[in-house]
Amino acid sequence: MSVLDITPIGHPILRSPTRPVSAEELASPEIQRLIDNMIDTMHDAAGAGIAANQVYSGLRIAIVEVTSNPRYPYKPAIPLTVIVNPIWQPVDDETFETNEGCLSVPLRGDLQRHTNIKVEYLDRMGEPHEEIKRGLTAGTFQHEIDHLDGNLIVDRIYPRTLATWEQFDAHQRDEFVARISAFVDQVGS
Ligand code: ZN
């Protein structure tokens, strides 16, 4: 297991839709090692998720996990979840305004996400899952699957809300945490 380099914004692989993984590939030692290394890399960077093209791989694989994370203290916990070949769709028209950062982008900002989504994916053993995700957890899944489709938060962020992490902490964090914590209490995730 090892920590991989993270792809920064500007590299074309972040703008390329990723390729679905076959059952045979998924079972291979190479892909299982890639998944382990993505988990290590996400932990090392204190991220809430990571997509394969963020470690210079073009495969349709992402990881999501939120434990008690100083980078995102307001986020409800998500168990370690490996999502292979995911697809998602909103289950209704409800959206919410959140604020996201990204391991590949030095800025963060406000954007809209769907509040209630259905996600279908394979786990790392190839078992199919179909689940409803809500609230900030739904937002985290949308963020990672956006990566796998070649999309980045800067495509969705309202340009005038872009901020460095340092300036967000100084000027926007308190208001955002109060607002998003109330949302999490209301939605339950
Ligand atoms: Zn990201």
Give 43-87 pLDDT, tens digit per residue. Answer: 999 999 999 999 999 999 999 999 877 777 788 899 999 999 999
pLDDT at 75: 83
Give 134-147 pLDDT, tens digit per residue. Answer: 999 999 999 999 99
Residue 16 corresponds to which tokens in the numbers above? 């390329």
| Ligand 1 center from residue 103 Cα (angstroms) | 5
Task: Report the percent of the chain where pLDDT is more than 90.
Answer: 92
pLDDT at 82: 98
CA 60, 143, 37, 164 torsion-angle sign: positive
The whole-number average pLDDT for the span 14-28 is 98
Q: Rounded to a whole number, what is the largest CA-CA distance in the chain?
A: 49
Is 144 annotated as catalytic?
A: yes
Model's pTM, two decimal places? Answer: 0.96
Q: How far is the first Cα of the chain from the last one, in angstroms, to the nearest whole number?
A: 31
Closest listed residue to residue 120, CA positions, set 165, 159, 152, 89: 89
User: What structural domains and CATH numbers belong to the chain?
Assistant: 12-96+112-154 (3.90.45.10)
Catalytic residue among 100, 130, 144, 175: 144
| Ligand 1 center from residue 152 Cα (angstroms) | 7
| Ligand 1 center from residue 51 Cα (angstroms) | 7
Residue 183 has pLDDT above 80, yes or no: yes
Percent helix, strand and coil across the chain, each to the nearest 5: 40, 30, 30
Task: Report the percent of the chain where pLDDT is more than 70.
Answer: 100
| Ligand 1 center from residue 181 Cα (angstroms) | 21
Residue 132 corresponds to which tokens in the numbers above? 């409803």
Q: Which residues of 65-90 are buried (b: 16+ CB within 10 A; e: fewer)?
A: bbeeeeebebbeebeebbbbbbebee
